[in-house]
Chains A and B, each alone.
Chain A
Amino acid sequence: MLKSMQNDKFNELLSKRAKEFLVTPNADAFENILAKRMQQKHRRKIIFFFSVASCFLLVSIIALANYFYTKNATFLQNKTAQFIPEIITKNETQNHAKNESQNSNSTNKIILNKEQKQFTKSTENRKLFISETSIIIFKEKSAYNQELKQKDELIKPILEIPKTEFDLPEIKLVNTKVITNKQTENNEFLATQKDSNLILLEENKIAENNQVTALDSLPKTKIDLSNSVSKKTSNLGFQFALFNNYMFLNRAYNGGDNEAIQNNFGINYNEQANRAYSLGFLAGVYRNKFTFSAGLAYNQVEFDKIYKLQDSQKSLVSKENFRNAAGYFINVIDQSLSFIEIPMSVAYKIGNKKWSVSTEVGTAIQFLTQTQTYTLQNDSLNLSPTTTNEVANNRFNKVQYLLFSSVHAQYEINKHVSFFAGPTVRVHFNQYFKNDFANKPAAQYLGLSSGIKFIF
């Protein structure tokens, strides 16, 4: 009991005395806390950007792999389909027709025609037939069966469309592209849909509700249309773009008079980024009218320094030599920063003709790789430019974040290549400099971007 009371007393007194202990932190403790927070934020942002960039790249790789895999698979299947050495005689065909009429589930059987030596898939209504040279539309099933029974020559087509005519002007429907302007007496069209089927459409049905009603369909994987149908019918694919930006400063990035930096000669100067250039590539996947891209670019930012005498508001010079009041030559410095940039963007394409417009929004992370300072000697009349490399210069933030948005006019040279150009705005959301001008807005650029796009 006594021991317990003594313990309580000990705790009470120790607690009381310990809580009296106050210590004043170091003078730089608060700055260190802010710096640590900033570092933590940067780390989180970097992790976020890398995660998103990795996802984009992964999607791009999968899309590319899928594209090549599908292409190869289609090729193999085409080969198989074209060289099926099966010939059905008249009797066999009749037997087959009988079987078909007995068993309605046999609609997917391939029937070979003695003359055409190719296949078709029998379904209700109209039937599609692919030959080496053309795609043929036949009458509905009952008529087909009747004809088979009555005639030696097998099927009389109601429309035959040579493959060479497939690459005709397009008629855009919902998710569907008509691949020929030939039509039957019932206004039926041959079309492709979602890159998978060759389908026969009834025009009136389309007109009524803007929906596609297929009379018949044939898996496209069984048909070699590689030389005849435009690749653009694909709504999932891969694209690669080379681009460059030339940007002009829109909103000044400078410290104003209060934050003006003083150089060794007692001269104040302001510093602002004036121009930025980017050159790089974007790889992406497109789905319908949206394109998701990620890439890599080289970016260079050039600064101008405007010098002022300490007691004067007048700007003396920019990028030229001059003497100050004390008779010294003043440093003339032109600085440029080089970044490696990882842009990511989402684009939406409007229109699908030779000329189209696409809008794009994106974000980019830039990693400072080099700072270059061109300095003219100030202590002699013999002015010679020197270049110093200050990669480890502590003044600059090593990582930059920005948002960009652009509107591009796009001209399609052919199915695979198009040019684009248009205005771009880029807004930085952190400063080039670490601690300078902390409360000032970051740089904002307006400019032009242009490039070439390859579509697969």
Chain B
Amino acid sequence: MPLILKHKKSGITDHELVQRCINNDAIAQKMLFEQYAPVLLGVCFRYAKNESDANEILQLGFVKIFNSLSKFRFESSLLTWITRIIINVSLNFLKANEKVKWESDIETIYENKDFSVEQMHQIDLKILMECIQKLPAGYRIVINMYAIEGYSHKEIAEVMNINESTSRSQFSRAKVLLEKRLLTLGFDVKKYAER
């Protein structure tokens, strides 16, 4: 039996909500927005280079979501589906508005030996997001898609129209740069908080 999720406030199911949104019910659209916007804006923050871009991506994404809801077949959860749309919109936005450089040359990448994965727990979320946002567009895309969303390098290569090896090397570089930034910015939490 399929799991029927009911919305906290209204008590209506995703099915009903989607149907009402398809029928251009402004109240339902607002409910859908309020339900998912915080999560999706978090996604947008990771892909965008700043807050205003993130907000723009969110708005463009929701326009697309409302326009495409009639195509949603409930084969996955609504959140998964709309997250995928937001990711697509983010990628298109980055392609259109930022220079995405793909470095495919094989070069020794020095790992940060000072960085311990366990330390990730201690990092303030805002700082983590800030560090991701400050990565170059190409690095940001791969870190988001590979490490956070769980896409394979092959899938990333197909979506971004690059080689699989480029995606791998891009990820390695992105990871090193992120760790470096987290070391300089993120772990001195107290210092950061005092700023």
Given the complex, which residues of B lie within 8 Å of A23, measured CB to CB? 38, 41-42, 45, 54
A33 to B146, CA, bound (A): 29
Interface of B is mostly: helix
Given the complex, which residues of A lie within 8 Å of B173, measured CB to CB? none
How far, in Å, is B56 (CB) from chain A's closest CB? 9
Q: A14-B148, A17-B120, A21-B128 are in contact. Are A26 and B45 (CB under 8 A)?
A: no
* B49 at the binding interface (Cβ < 8 Å): no
Which single member of A21, A26, A33 contacts B129 (CB below 8 Å)? A21
Which single member of A7, A14, A20, A37 contacts B66 (CB below 8 Å)? A37
Total residues of chain A contacting the partner, CB 8 A: 26
* A226 at the binding interface (Cβ < 8 Å): no
How far, in Å, is A302 (CB) from chain B's closest CB? 31
Are A34 and B46 closer than 8 Å at their CB atoms?
Answer: no
Which single member of A20, A30, A40 contacts B33 (CB below 8 Å)? A30
Which single member of B26, B46, B66, B121 contacts A13 (CB below 8 Å)? B121
* A15 at the binding interface (Cβ < 8 Å): yes
Interface centre among B41, B45, B46 (most CB of A within 10 A): B41
Q: A25-B37, A25-B55, A26-B55 are in contact. Are A33 and B121 (CB under 8 A)?
A: no
Given the complex, which residues of B lie within 8 Å of A20, measured CB to CB? 125
Given the complex, which residues of B lie within 8 Å of A22, measured CB to CB? 38-39, 41-42
Interface positions of B from 42 to 100, Cβ below 8 Å from A: 42, 45-46, 54-55, 58-60, 62-63, 66-67
Q: A17-B128, A37-B67 are in contact. Are A25 and B120 (CB under 8 A)?
A: no
Which single member of B34, B63, B117, B150 contacts A40 (CB below 8 Å)? B63
Given the complex, which residues of A lie within 8 Å of B132, measured CB to CB? 18
A41 to chain B: closest residue by CB: B67
Total residues of chain B contacting the partner, CB 8 A: 36
Given the complex, which residues of A lie within 8 Å of B175, measured CB to CB? 7, 10
Interface positions of A from 1 to 48, Cβ below 8 Å from B: 6-7, 9-11, 13-15, 17-26, 29-30, 32-34, 36-37, 40
Interface positions of B from 140 to 164, Cβ below 8 Å from A: 143, 146-150
Given the complex, which residues of A lie within 8 Å of B67, measured CB to CB? 37, 40
A89 to B128, CA, bound (A): 108
Which single member of A14, A21, A29 contacts B42 (CB below 8 Å)? A21
How far, in Å, is B122 (CB) from chain A's closest CB? 10
Interface positions of B from 110 to 134, Cβ below 8 Å from A: 117, 120-121, 123, 125, 128-129, 132
Are A25 and B146 closer than 8 Å at their CB atoms?
Answer: no
A26 to B62, CA, bound (A): 14
Given the complex, which residues of A lie within 8 Å of B26, measured CB to CB? 34
A218 to B34, CA, bound (A): 77
Are A10 and B146 closer than 8 Å at their CB atoms?
Answer: no
Q: A9-B117, A33-B63 are in contact. Are A15 and B37 (CB under 8 A)?
A: no
Which single member of B62, B143, B147, B149 contacts A33 (CB below 8 Å)? B62
How far, in Å, is B25 (CB) from chain A's closest CB? 11
B83 to chain A: closest residue by CB: A19
A415 to B129, CA, bound (A): 78
Which single member of B58, B123, B129, B148 contacts A25 (CB below 8 Å)? B58
A10 to B118, CA, bound (A): 8
How far, in Å, is A44 (CB) from chain B's closest CB? 10
How far, in Å, is A32 (CB) from chain B's closest CB? 5
Given the complex, which residues of A lie within 8 Å of B123, measured CB to CB? 17
* B15 at the binding interface (Cβ < 8 Å): no
Given the complex, which residues of A lie within 8 Å of B20, measured CB to CB? none
A217 to B42, CA, bound (A): 80
Are B125 and A17 closer than 8 Å at their CB atoms?
Answer: yes
Given the complex, which residues of A lie within 8 Å of B128, measured CB to CB? 14, 17-18, 21
Are A24 and B38 closer than 8 Å at their CB atoms?
Answer: yes
Given the complex, which residues of B lie within 8 Å of A26, measured CB to CB? 55
Q: A10-B117, A13-B121 are in contact. Are A37 and B63 (CB under 8 A)?
A: yes
How far, in Å, is A18 (CB) from chain B's closest CB? 5
Given the complex, which residues of B lie within 8 Å of A14, measured CB to CB? 120, 128, 143, 147-148
* B30 at the binding interface (Cβ < 8 Å): yes
Given the complex, which residues of A lie within 8 Å of B129, measured CB to CB? 18, 21
Are A32 and B41 closer than 8 Å at their CB atoms?
Answer: no
Given the complex, which residues of A lie within 8 Å of B121, measured CB to CB? 13, 17
Which single member of A11, A15, A29 contacts B58 (CB below 8 Å)? A29
The 9 closest A-B pairs by CB, nearest first: A13-B120, A22-B38, A11-B147, A23-B41, A21-B42, A15-B148, A33-B62, A25-B37, A9-B117
**A residues apposed to B, CB below 8 Å:** 6-7, 9-11, 13-15, 17-26, 29-30, 32-34, 36-37, 40
Task: A14-B143, A15-B149, A30-B30 are known; give 5 further A-B pairs, CB within 8 A.
Answer: A9-B117, A13-B117, A17-B120, A24-B41, A33-B59
